[in-house]
Amino acid sequence: EVQLVESGEGLVQPGSSMKLSCVASGFTFSNYGMNWIRQAPKKGLEWIALIYYDSSSKYYADSVKGRFTISRDNSKNTLYLEMNSLRSEDTAMYYCAKSAALDYWGQGVMVTVSS
């Protein structure tokens, strides 16, 4: 059974940094691209980043480009999202999702950016 478990949720001040993790199981993690998607409270879904299976390519939404970094450690079956210069508009539930076409999602973690 595919499982994706995010961690790292919390409340941070504007301008600060935070790192999310997503531990994968039930499939060969190193064979698949992985994504981060977020959802602001009461809003729709926003894709924010993808990393290839071998970390050779990374893509970002314009809203996070230059501030967020997606990475992975295939030896630990873990996906990361490092978030810098956080803004109030980054407040959202953050989900990791498997493969280039988002066929499995984690349960999500809440990131709140507020002073």
Q: What residues make contact with another protein under the rule CB under 8 A? A: 35, 44-47, 50, 59-62, 95, 100-108
Among residues 14 and 83, whose Cβ is nearest to another protein?
83
Among residues 4 and 18, whose Cβ is nearest to another protein?
4
Q: Which residue has the tokens 């961690």?
A: 7
Structure tokens at 61: 């939404």
Distance CA 106, CA 12 (A): 22
Q: Is the dihedral of CA 83, 86, 89, 93 positive or negative?
A: positive
Tell me if 34 sits within 8 A of 50, measured CB to CB: yes
Q: Compute the least distance from the CB of residue 8 to another protein, in Å.
A: 16
Structure tokens at 62: 């314009």
Q: Compute the least distance from the CB of residue 13 to another protein, in Å.
A: 27
Cα angle 52, 53, 58 (rounded to 5 degrees) comes to 20
Q: Compute the least distance from the CB of residue 102 to another protein, in Å.
A: 7
Among residues 82 and 103, whose Cβ is nearest to another protein?
103
Among residues 23 and 61, whose Cβ is nearest to another protein?
61
Q: Compute the least distance from the CB of residue 107 to another protein, in Å.
A: 6
